[in-house]
Structure 1
Amino acid sequence: MNYSKELEVAKQAAKQAASIIRDYAGRTSFDVKLKGKNDLVTDADVNSEKKIIEVIQQAFPDDYILAEESQKRSSIPEERIWIIDPIDGTTNFAHAFPVYCVSIALWENRQPKVGLVYEVANDELFTATEGEGAFLNGEGIHISQNNDPTSSLIGTGFPYNNLNLVDNYLKLFKRMMEKTHGVRRPGSAAWDLCNVACGRFEGFYEYGLSAWDVAAGVLIIKEAGGVITDWKGEGEWLFGQRIIAGNKSVHAFLLNEIQQCFEQDELKG
């Protein structure tokens, strides 16, 4: 099936949402609330999500929607479902740190078909449709061909509400510092995944993520030639809260390092 119309609608929705986000970014103040410990939501999140849903529903009124701020689900249907994060990196946005993304994905038959991540502050539009490759601002992208972990740059994120695994996570972080060129934590999982897709990072790992954080970026990585699994090396990463991504060699390295640092019952969400 050709998903070009769906991708164009996703682009329209992302651009309109980005206009709302930029408007809020230019203000001296806006409303910031706590959904939970260290879990922020702003007026920009709420209003950009409304706009994304409006644009999608006008084009595809029968499709399901899963969105961070308004429409929650713990699983996805076989039918078409749009998975939306209006601002991935809300804490960054609230502090004017310039890495925050609109993330929009279309899944069908429980598989990603369209993925879009728009990094608003730097105007980077990452897109992919199933079987058609991955792109950054219209130019084809591919994962890094560097297969040596010792010269690799790794992306990660730190959990903000589930701190149960932090002690072992910090042990893993130390191993990454010792065994790679370095570790970066920009604060937006969607953008981290895209950095793997375009070869800036050789790999990425994190836990405590939600479906809307990863639903678009994983297709972009797959279409760029990368590998995605959960921490057990399996496929439960959409709702499983644990993810590893990278080229084949660095993914295998990260999987081994993670399994060295965590008990078996900690590898699955």
Structure 2
Amino acid sequence: MRKSALINVMERAARKAARKLLHDFGEVEQLQVSRKGPADFVSRADVAAEETIREELSRARPDFGFIQEEGGRIEAGDGDSYWIVDPLDGTTNFLHGLPHFAISIGLMQKGDIQAGVILAPVTDELYYAERGKGAFMNDRRLRVSGRSRMSEALFATGIPYMGRPGHDTLLAELRALTDNISGIRRFGVASLDLAFVAAGRFDGFWERGLHQWDIAAGIVLVREAGGLVTDIKGGRKMMETGDIVAGNGSLHAPLLKSLKAATATR
């Protein structure tokens, strides 16, 4: 499928930032054994990538605002259109030299997610979707998986860390699921978890307490690939609450039911 002008703008910004991230990623291994401390270096790489994306997108759409992980909110000149940007989703992976991280750019207009691009720089996999136009990975049409049995399902989730709340809830959810499914993965990059649901690699994904920039692009990807996305109550307040459940048409409901049952017993 020929990409729209909008997707081309988003891809160009992501790829320009990706070139810088890949260069910086090559320095991480050396920093790991130095006194300099890699965390500060990665923080600078994160900010630099976000600045690159903001400059590219602003040049193409000067009236659009921004909701950014590092740079905060910039109000939209048109009052309705916001880029939602995570310049480095998977910072901890990046910091440790793990080649699993992504750039995520979503576009929200009048409160609805209209388009999304997720780029995995190391694998050069570009996931993109536009409302009503389907989801793609490197020009290949994406569809969620066709699995319908929980016993065959592979799900992804996130684990709270560094003092974040929710450990007991997650443990209850894992107990409710692990005896009945094929497996659970925790890769540490929510945007790519959602992209993998869209691609049929995962059958579902859930996590609590995420930010808008973690999930905006992934929401439209999953929907345009034929999947379902809700909050953990089954509603549509993912962007407000940061709690999200995504899955294919057959397994979203049983996944949601299991999660609800797990928390109801606590």
TM-score (norm 2): 0.90
The residue matched to 1:115 in structure 2 has which SS?
strand
Alpha-carbon distance in structure 2 between the residues aligned to 1:103 and 1:154: 21
AA matched with 2:68: A
Match of 2:85 in 1: 84
AA matched with 1:48: A
Match of 1:181 in 2: 182
- The answer to whether residue 208 in structure 2 is matched with residue 207 in structure 1 is yes
Alpha-carbon distance in structure 2 between the residues aligned to 1:41 and 1:64: 25
Match of 2:8 in 1: 8
Alpha-carbon distance in structure 1 between the residues aligned to 2:252 and 2:164: 24
Moved over 6 A (4+): none
Alpha-carbon distance in structure 1 between the residues aligned to 2:164 and 2:12: 37
- The answer to whether residue 221 in structure 2 is matched with residue 220 in structure 1 is yes
Alpha-carbon distance in structure 1 between the residues aligned to 2:79 and 2:4: 20
AA matched with 1:56: L
Alpha-carbon distance in structure 2 between the residues aligned to 1:153 and 1:5: 35
Change over 3 Å in CA distance of 1:189–1:227 after alignment to 2: same
AA matched with 1:213: D
Alpha-carbon distance in structure 2 between the residues aligned to 1:111 and 1:257: 28
Match of 1:145 in 2: 146
Aligned pairs (5 A) from 1:12-161 = 12-27=12-27, 28-29=30-31, 32-33=38-39, 42-72=43-73, 79-161=80-162
Change over 3 Å in CA distance of 1:98–1:133 after alignment to 2: same
The residue matched to 1:204 in structure 2 has which SS?
strand
The residue matched to 1:98 in structure 2 has which SS?
coil
Alpha-carbon distance in structure 2 between the residues aligned to 1:205 and 1:221: 13
Change over 3 Å in CA distance of 1:31–1:43 after alignment to 2: farther
Alpha-carbon distance in structure 1 between the residues aligned to 2:143 and 2:258: 24
The residue matched to 2:86 in structure 1 has which SS?
strand
Alpha-carbon distance in structure 1 between the residues aligned to 2:122 and 2:161: 23
Alpha-carbon distance in structure 2 between the residues aligned to 1:112 and 1:245: 15
Q: Name whichever structure is richer in helix by fraction.
A: 2
- Offset, 1:176: 2.2
Change over 3 Å in CA distance of 1:161–1:233 after alignment to 2: farther
Alpha-carbon distance in structure 2 between the residues aligned to 1:163 and 1:55: 34
Match of 1:37 in 2: none
The residue matched to 2:136 in structure 1 has which SS?
strand
- Offset, 1:190: 0.2
Q: Give ranges in structure 1 of 5+ residues lacking alignment.
A: 35-39
- Offset, 1:31: 6.0
AA matched with 2:61: F
Q: Does the 8 A contact of 1:32 with 1:43 survive in 2? A: no
AA matched with 1:226: G
Report the count of equivalent residues. 255
- Offset, 1:211: 0.3
Q: Does the 8 A contact of 2:107 with 2:114 survive in 1? A: yes
Range that drifts further, 164-173 or 106-115: 164-173
Alpha-carbon distance in structure 1 between the residues aligned to 2:24 and 2:180: 41
Q: Give ranges in structure 2 of 5+ residues lacking alignment.
A: none
Considering only aligned residues, what root-mean-square deviation do their CA atoms show, in Å?
A: 2.1
